[in-house]
């Protein structure tokens, strides 16, 4: 049996378990083929593909630049807390590769990034190769990488990544809630994480805090920004997310609202220095700019979570170091990351035509 998937006792078929709360006699595939789901997924893909790369100067001029820097700090802290040198990383909804430099600094051994937006994957490949003019300050990345264009909340990734698994770390930053358009997609997302993580592997992520958002909506709270996401998004009740994750062998280590996260980890010297370098609160010297009150309110709408796959890693085996494998397979070095397209495995190929 493939890792992370349960076998149905009634049909003998493999796949995510049927919903306990909603009977679906035609199977989860019926949810996945729902026309409205395909339309929403297409909108998300088109939105992120259409977002143009910004120069450093344009990025600094964003009206929510300090919120973006705070989000980067939270992601960086998560990566530093749970990543070890040589780890194999699966980055779901990797976007344009904005976290590549974070993973590179963590000295990981192998990276696979997947995103639904074709344009984002191409931008990620350009960034990886060091060819983007607007990122001229950044070096070419040396960690072996594979980039894939496809819907990681619809496709069974254990089939596509059978030669790459198992991973030490899975990351999904500010994107897991996109899988909650249907129960089947939410289950497929968690099944993919479970199937591809090794026992004891870590799943880190950030997403909207459903409890806070519902509370704010009841209070009549509204907030909008220029330069923000403009596509369909879903509220995730975290207690439901936690319960569903447990069905796939993923146990909660912690969940913290962004405000609580900042309060806890900004007390640690190494993360104070990281915050200073990223500039979300200024640099404490010449740059006195900081989060606006509305930006801090917006940060409250998000949370960070860490899950762990049940089981213990096999201590008798040496962890796979795919950078060495790549070097042996290609002594001259990788000039480009390997780009594949998951849309070829979809039936029918509707999301990324």
C-beta separation of 195 from 5 below 8 A: yes
Closest CA relative to residue 198, chosen from 324, 79, 89: 89
Q: Is 71 annotated as a binding residue?
A: yes
Q: Is 192 annotated as a binding residue?
A: no
Report d(CA 16, CA 90) in Å as an integer. 20
Q: Is 72 annotated as a binding residue?
A: yes
Q: Is 173 annotated as a binding residue?
A: yes
| Residue ranges of E strands in the chain | 6-7, 14-15, 88-92, 110-115, 145-149, 167-173, 197-208, 250-257, 302-309, 338-341
Report d(CA 96, CA 149) in Å as an integer. 11
C-beta separation of 106 from 75 below 8 A: no
Q: Is 330 annotated as a binding residue?
A: no
Report d(CA 78, CA 173) in Å as an integer. 10
Report d(CA 25, CA 18) in Å as an integer. 9
Q: Is 151 annotated as a binding residue?
A: yes
Residue whose tokens read 């496709």: 155
Annotated binding site: 71-72, 75, 93, 115, 151, 173, 178
Annotated binding site for S-adenosyl-L-methionine: 75, 93, 115, 151, 173, 178
Annotated binding site for mRNA: 71-72
């Amino acid at each position: 049996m493939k890792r992370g998937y349960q076998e149905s006792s009634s049909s003998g078929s493999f796949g995510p378990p049927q919903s306990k709360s909603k009977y679906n006699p035609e199977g989860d595939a019926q949810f996945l083929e729902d026309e409205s789901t395909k339309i929403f997924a297409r909108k998300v893909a088109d939105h992120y593909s259409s977002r143009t790369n910004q120069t450093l100067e344009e990025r600094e001029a964003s009206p929510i630049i300090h919120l973006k820097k705070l989000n980067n700090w939270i992601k960086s802290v998560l990566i530093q807390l749970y990543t070890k040198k040589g780890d194999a990383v699966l980055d779901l909804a990797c976007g344009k590769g904005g976290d590549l430099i974070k993973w590179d600094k963590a000295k990981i051994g192998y990276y696979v990034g997947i995103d639904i937006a074709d344009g984002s994957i191409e931008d990620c490949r350009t960034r990886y190769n060091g060819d983007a003019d607007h990122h001229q300050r950044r070096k070419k990345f040396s960690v072996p990488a594979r980039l894939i264009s496809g819907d990681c909340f619809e496709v069974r990734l254990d089939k596509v990544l059978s030669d790459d698994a198992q991973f030490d770390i899975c990351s999904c930053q500010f994107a897991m809630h996109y899988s909650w358009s249907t129960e089947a997609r939410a289950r497929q997302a968690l099944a993919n994480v479970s199937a591809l993580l090794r026992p004891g592997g870590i799943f880190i992520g950030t997403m909207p805090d459903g409890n806070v958002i519902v509370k704010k909506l009841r209070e009549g709270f509204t907030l909008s920004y220029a330069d923000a996401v403009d596509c369909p998004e879903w509220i995730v009740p975290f207690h439901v997310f936690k319960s569903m994750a447990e069905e796939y062998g993923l146990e909660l280590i912690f969940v913290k609202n962004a405000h609580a996260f900042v309060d806890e980890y900004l007390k640690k010297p190494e993360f104070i220095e990281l915050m200073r370098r990223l500039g979300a609160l200024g640099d404490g010297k010449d740059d006195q700019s900081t989060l606006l009150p509305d930006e801090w309110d917006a940060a409250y709408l998000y949370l960070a979570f860490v899950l762990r796959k049940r089981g213990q890693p096999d201590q008798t085996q040496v962890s796979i170091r795919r950078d060495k494998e790549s070097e042996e397979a290609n002594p001259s070095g990788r000039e480009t990351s390997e780009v594949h397209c998951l849309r070829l495995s979809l039936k029918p190929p509707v999301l990324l035509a």
